[in-house]
Amino acid sequence: MGKYSIGEFEEIVLLTVAVLYESAYGIAIKEDIETRLKRSVSVGAMRIALKRLEKKGFLTSEFGEATAVRGGKRKRYFKVTPFGKKALEEAMAARQQLWEAIPSVAFDFKFI
Amino acid sequence: MSNKPTEKPIPSPPKWLLAFLHWFCDPDLLEDVEGDLVELFEQRVTNTPRKARWLFAFDVVKLFRPGIIKTNEFFKTQNNNAMLFNHVKMAIRHALRYKGYTVLNLFGLIVGLTSSILILLWVNDEVEKDQFHVNAGRIYQVWRNMYQANGEVITTGSIPGPLGGALTNNYPEVDEVTYYSWELELLFRLDESVSYEKGRYVSPEFFSIFSFPFAAGDPASALNDPHSVVISEKLAKKYFGESWKTDALSKVIKIDESQEFTVSGVFEDVGSQSSMTFDFLLPAHEYIARNEWIRSWFNGGFSIYFTVKPGADLVAVQQRIEQEINNNTDNAADERLMVLKATDTYLHSNFKNAVPSGGRIQYVRILTIIAIFLLVISCINFMNLSTARASRRTKEIGVRKVLGAQRRTLGQQFLVESFMITIVAVLLSIGLVLLIVPYFNGLTDKQLYLDFTDSRFWMGISALIAVTGLLSGSYPALLLPSFKVTNSLKGAVRQSASSIYFRNGLVVFQFALSIILIIGSLVVARQMNFVLNKNLGLDKENMAYLYMPQDLTNRRDVYKTELLNIPEVKEVSFASGNPLSYGRSTGSSQWDGKDPNAEIEVNVLMVDLGFFSSMGMEIADGRDFSKDFASDTANYIINEVMADIMGFDEPVGENLSVWGMKGKVIGIVKNFHMQSLYEPVAPLIVRYSPPYTSVALIRLQNDIPKGIAGIEEVTTALSPGFPFQYEFLDASYAASYRTEMTLSTLVNIFAVVSIFISCLGLFGLSSFSADQRSREIGIRKVHGASVTGLVILLSKDYSRLMIVAFLLAAPVAWYYMQEWLNGFAFRTDLTLSAFMLAGFTAFVVGALTVSVKSYQAASVNPTRTLKDE
């Protein structure tokens, strides 16, 4: 992991931001995670994860245009940075490496 | 994600929650977080508005966490906040270090707060009654003041019918007018379902004046057709089953077996927030068309409500309307009209000399005062305990001062402590209220609940925390930091005489309040006993009564004979009205020598033979009606009040006429009460005229349930198809005093609560002082003092306080209870015994509380207390 420290939920959020590409803002990310992964996400938990990811430099964000809905508040769109992408790759590689290291008999669940 | 502006306004989430979010949220995150929440809310609100608000609140609360809460200014930079944290930490440690003391404090506060919250819920419900009408601010009711010859004024809401038309046509200020009748109990029949229902006659405008929402049908036109009826959801379900929404409209219901009415609307059940109650409404014009009498200026009829146009001059209406009856009746009697706000009449329903003079508002006031009492008593506990225990903390205060703490900071520390305890106590009380509310509702016959989504609830709770916290924390916060450093470090703080006086004063105050409540509860209970057991001049025990349907009134004699064949039926008679209200009154009675200008409103009751004997009434003079005198159908029996008004030395044999029917007075019946004991006995004329009687009065003996079963059999045999309904006279009588009974129970309960809280405080104080004097007690014991002597020594001071409290409380209680009793025309006297009993109770309970701890302290082996140091 080293310098790309990333938690499980953070990883999911970061991946989802990448999935949504240009339309990744709060509610869209929340709903995407909820429909894809069938887990409920609170606005608070997600917002904190986004904030932390941004602080770590994995994400950047900017405001969109104001609209009449949402009480006239602007949306904040998120984008994965190259550094974020690296973190994701690192995480995946780490897993891959671990998977490959598993001896084949470990998952050999036969009736004994 | 839509960018186009929408046309119709989208409901917005609760403002106060947004304000809360703005307050705590990090400004960098605020805009998009708020946007996200609002977007979620907008998605949810279209389907389930209520749930959406809940979820929104839930989301906001979940956001209240580190990471979202703004950090910079609030938590980090200011030293004050660091101190605040320190105070909180100290308060928690202190609370945990002295668990017994914390529990005592919390317990007292919780009991006080729970009681206060319950009472305030009740009060709020009373005050909010009828306020749900959209037009509440401009609905007025017309009242009629009848000026009597003896100088009294009778005020009634029953208004001559033609005034309705006059208001609509001649008063430009008036917007809409509606009649509202007395309560009817009519027989509803739809195929096989038959039962009696309660409702009223109203005008079609009723629904645009008052806000009773419809579940089906159009409120604007529902009552236009004279043969339409509007029913409640409850009735709709009863007669049309679960699919009433589609089935009920335009179905025909037969009412009172005679007329058919078409269901033209279904309104949502009238909730407890309305003082008007009805399960169905019929068009008033249908009744008016059938009844000549209600179209006359000379008869009181329906109640009348109206709305004034926004901004119209009400004073002009009031001035013009006053003489409206007198102008139209050629001043036949002096009757003046007045206009009062309709939403006020629930709380102010009593009148004295043509002005509102109380009603339920008195109970609202009494209970509000009790709520404040209880809160103050529990705050005093807190103050007393924390200042009394101050010597424990003098070293802490000394050290803090030496390290540079300012007075202000120390004061803050004690305030923080009191606020923390208060907040914990309030939260626990809310939990407790949730548990108790169902029982409290059963007791008070209300549907109270805590509405957590209502911002006013939270404002109320915050106010309660602020008041309680300040009240209980301010005195310790002022007093404790004022100790001198050198003394407090030596551990030799002598509390000044004034602070001890103050503490004793508070104890006296607490107990004085408790004694006032105890005296109050005793007096109220005594008056209730008096009312319920007063000799009414009639025998209300074992007396059943029922309203006879047409089938029975047509065959009175058969019905009577059959009833008397039942062995459990002792006597039967008939009368024209419910025994608790005469039903009819007139100003038209005439007798020789009556002042022609004097108006005297007299009640009239029509009876058949045997009425007086079966009701257990006594003929004071003359004779009862008898079938031996054929002329008795034209004769009258009057009560003693009426005899006084007529003014003859020997009224029996004098001429009397009612509604133009001439006859003679043949007897005088002793006064009996058929109405509220708030009123004096009214003049009454009794006429022997069986055809007008519709209430059967049946005296039972021996096995009552068997008797009722017998009556049911006879009744249903003679009038098949009518549901059998009866009531007992004593039960109906008791029910008319339900408000007073509820009040009595509440005052009893809260009097016990108040003495309990006071004793908790006293217990804390006395155990503390016993603790402080443990060495003194040890030395006294070594020198031979007895345990009894020591207990007396330790309890003496407190006993003196109880006596002072009693002396202060007694006159106050005497004054206010006399005021309350004055509202009853028939009342008990304030007896010394109630005061003695209250004083004695408080004294004994107080003394016992103190002596428990004193005894403990006095019986400790002196070696244990003397060995330290």
Q: What is the pLDDT of residues B129-163, one digit of tens each?
A: 888 888 888 899 999 888 877 777 878 888 888 88
pLDDT (0 to 100) of residue A96:
92
CA distances from B768 to B425, B478, B762, B764, B801 (A): 22, 21, 10, 6, 17
Asked if residue B429 has pLDDT above 90, the reply is yes
Separation between Cα atoms, residue B57 and residue B48, nearest integer Å: 14
Q: In percent, how much of chain B has pLDDT > 90?
A: 5
The conformation of residue B658, written as its DSSP 8-state character, comes to: E
Residues of A in contact with B6 (CB under 8 A): 68-69
The conformation of residue B675, written as its DSSP 8-state character, comes to: S
User: Which residues 29-48 of A are in CB contact (within 8 Å) with B?
Assistant: 30, 42-45, 47-48
B431 pLDDT band, cuts 50/70/90, is: very high
Which residues, in sequence order, are CB contacts of B812 under 8 Å at separation 6+? Answer: B512, B516
A112 pLDDT band, cuts 50/70/90, is: low
pLDDT (0 to 100) of residue A98:
92
B3/A67 Cβ within 8 A = yes
Separation between Cα atoms, residue B687 and residue B410, nearest integer Å: 83
pLDDT (0 to 100) of residue B495:
65
B68/A44 Cβ within 8 A = yes
B486, containing H or E segment: helix B485-490
pLDDT (0 to 100) of residue B305:
92
* Terminal Cα-to-Cα distance of chain B (whole angstroms): 78
Which residues, in sequence order, are CB contacts of B487 under 8 Å at separation 6+? Answer: B394, B493, B494
How many angstroms away from the CA of B69 is the closest CA of chain A? Answer: 11
Asked if residue B555 has pLDDT above 60, the reply is yes
Cβ proximity of B819 and B783 under 8 Å: no
A68/B32 Cβ within 8 A = no
What does the domain layout of chain A look like in residue ranges?
Answer: 8-107
Separation between Cα atoms, residue B740 and residue B736, nearest integer Å: 9
pLDDT tens digits for range A42-94: 888 888 888 888 888 899 988 888 777 777 788 889 999 999 899 899 889 98
Residues of B in contact with A43 (CB under 8 A): 33, 36-37, 40, 59, 62-63
pLDDT (0 to 100) of residue B613:
82
Separation between Cα atoms, residue B115 and residue B299, nearest integer Å: 48
pLDDT (0 to 100) of residue B537:
74
Cβ proximity of B178 and B305 under 8 Å: yes
Separation between Cα atoms, residue A68 and residue B593, nearest integer Å: 84
Cβ proximity of B846 and B802 under 8 Å: yes
Quick one: how far is CA B170 from the chain centroid? Answer: 39
Residues of A in contact with B40 (CB under 8 A): 27, 43
Quick one: how far is CA A102 from the chain centroid? Answer: 26
The SS3 call for residue B180 is strand
Interface contact B37, partner A, CB < 8 A: yes
The letter for the amino acid at B565 is N
pLDDT (0 to 100) of residue A73:
82
Separation between Cα atoms, residue A41 and residue A31, nearest integer Å: 8
Interface contact B192, partner A, CB < 8 A: no
Residues of A in contact with B38 (CB under 8 A): 69-71, 73
Residue of B nearest to A66 (CA): B3
pLDDT (0 to 100) of residue B2:
44
pLDDT tens digits for range B802-811: 889 889 988 9
- C-alpha triplet A22, A26, A31: angle, nearest 5°: 90
Separation between Cα atoms, residue B91 and residue A61, nearest integer Å: 43
Task: Return the structure tokens found at B511.
Answer: 């107990």
pLDDT tens digits for range B84-109: 788 888 888 888 888 888 888 899 89
pLDDT tens digits for range B263-305: 888 988 888 888 888 999 999 888 888 887 788 887 778 889 9
Task: Return the structure tokens found at B559.
Answer: 């019905």
Asked if residue B428 has pLDDT above 90, the reply is yes
Interface contact A76, partner B, CB < 8 A: yes
pLDDT (0 to 100) of residue B111:
92
- Residue among B582, B605, B617, B578 nearest B692 (CA): B605
Give the residue-averaged pLDDT of B566-576.
Answer: 84
Pairing between β-strand B584-586 and β-strand B602-607 as defined by DSSP bridges: antiparallel
- Residue among B776, B829, B96 nearest B522 (CA): B829
Residue of A nearest to B7 (CA): A68
Query: What average pLDDT does the structure give for chain B?
Result: 82
Cβ proximity of B770 and B853 under 8 Å: yes
pLDDT tens digits for range B673-684: 766 666 677 788
How many angstroms away from the CA of B761 is the closest CA of chain A? Answer: 45
Give the residue-averaged pLDDT of B548-576.
Answer: 81
Kindly report the three-state secondary structure assignment for every residue of B431-450.
HHHHHHHHHHHHHHCCCCCC
User: Which residues 11-30 of A are in CB contact (within 8 Å) with B?
Assistant: 23, 25-28, 30
Cβ proximity of B589 and B759 under 8 Å: no
Asked if residue B71 has pLDDT above 70, the reply is no
What does the domain layout of chain B look like in residue ranges?
Answer: 15-77, 136-346, 361-531+737-866, 543-731
Q: Is the pTM of this model over 0.90?
A: no
pLDDT (0 to 100) of residue B841:
85
How many angstroms away from the CA of A91 is the closest CA of chain B? Answer: 25
Q: In percent, how much of chain A has pLDDT > 90?
A: 15
Measured over the CA atoms of residue B836, residue B837, residue B839 and residue B845, the dihedral's sign is positive
Mutate to test the interface with A, among B20, B30, B31, B58 (most CBs of A within 10 A): B31
Could you report the predicted ipTM of this complex, rounded to two decimals? 0.84
Give the residue-averaged pLDDT of B373-380.
Answer: 88
Query: Of B10, B29, B62, which has the smallest distance from its Cβ to A51's Cβ?
Result: B29
Interface contact B867, partner A, CB < 8 A: no
A48/B35 Cβ within 8 A = no
Give the residue-averaged pLDDT of B763-781.
Answer: 81
Mutate to test the interface with B, among A35, A47, A59 (most CBs of B within 10 A): A47
Asked if residue B47 has pLDDT above 90, the reply is no
Query: Of A52, A65, A73, which has the smallest distance from its Cβ to B34's Cβ?
Result: A73
Neighbours of A101 (CB within 10 A): 8
Measured over the CA atoms of residue A16, residue A17, residue A21 and residue A23, the dihedral's sign is positive
Separation between Cα atoms, residue B95 and residue B85, nearest integer Å: 15
Pairing between β-strand B543-547 and β-strand B139-147 as defined by DSSP bridges: unpaired
- Residue among B494, B470, B270, B252 nearest B382 (CA): B470
Q: In percent, how much of chain B has pLDDT > 70?
A: 94
Q: Where are the alpha helices (DSSP H) in B783-831?
A: 787-822
Separation between Cα atoms, residue B575 and residue B719, nearest integer Å: 19
Interface contact A96, partner B, CB < 8 A: no
pLDDT tens digits for range B674-715: 666 666 777 888 888 777 778 888 888 888 888 888 888 888
Mutate to test the interface with B, among A73, A75, A78 (most CBs of B within 10 A): A73
pLDDT (0 to 100) of residue A1:
46
CB pairs under 8 A between A and B: 77
B5 pLDDT band, cuts 50/70/90, is: very low
Q: Where are the alpha helices (DSSP H) in B267-347?
A: 284-290, 314-321, 324-328
Greater confidence, B470 or B454?
B470
pLDDT (0 to 100) of residue B318:
85
Give the residue-averaged pLDDT of B586-595.
Answer: 74
The SS3 call for residue A79 is strand
B2/A47 Cβ within 8 A = no
Separation between Cα atoms, residue A19 and residue A38, nearest integer Å: 16
B62/A42 Cβ within 8 A = yes
How many angstroms away from the CA of B16 is the closest CA of chain A? Answer: 15
Interface contact B5, partner A, CB < 8 A: yes
Separation between Cα atoms, residue B405 and residue B412, nearest integer Å: 11
Separation between Cα atoms, residue B661 and residue B656, nearest integer Å: 8
For chain B, state the CA radius of gyration. Answer: 35
- Residue among B423, B433, B434, B414 nearest B467 (CA): B423
The letter for the amino acid at B3 is N
A71/B35 Cβ within 8 A = yes
Bridge partner residues of B178 (DSSP) = B305
Separation between Cα atoms, residue B755 and residue B519, nearest integer Å: 12
* Terminal Cα-to-Cα distance of chain A (whole angstroms): 38
pLDDT (0 to 100) of residue B434:
92
Phi/psi at B456 (nearest 5 deg)? -65, -30
For chain A, state the CA radius of gyration. Answer: 17
- Residue among B159, B460, B165, B168 nearest B307 (CA): B168
Which residues, in sequence order, are CB contacts of B700 under 8 Å at separation 6+? Answer: B542, B543, B544, B568, B569, B570, B707, B708
User: Which residues 62-91 of B are in CB contact (within 8 Å) with A?
Assistant: 62-63, 65, 67-68
Record: fold of A8-107? Arc Repressor Mutant, subunit A (1.10.10)
- DSSP characters over B135-155: TGGGEEEEEEEEE-TTS-EEE
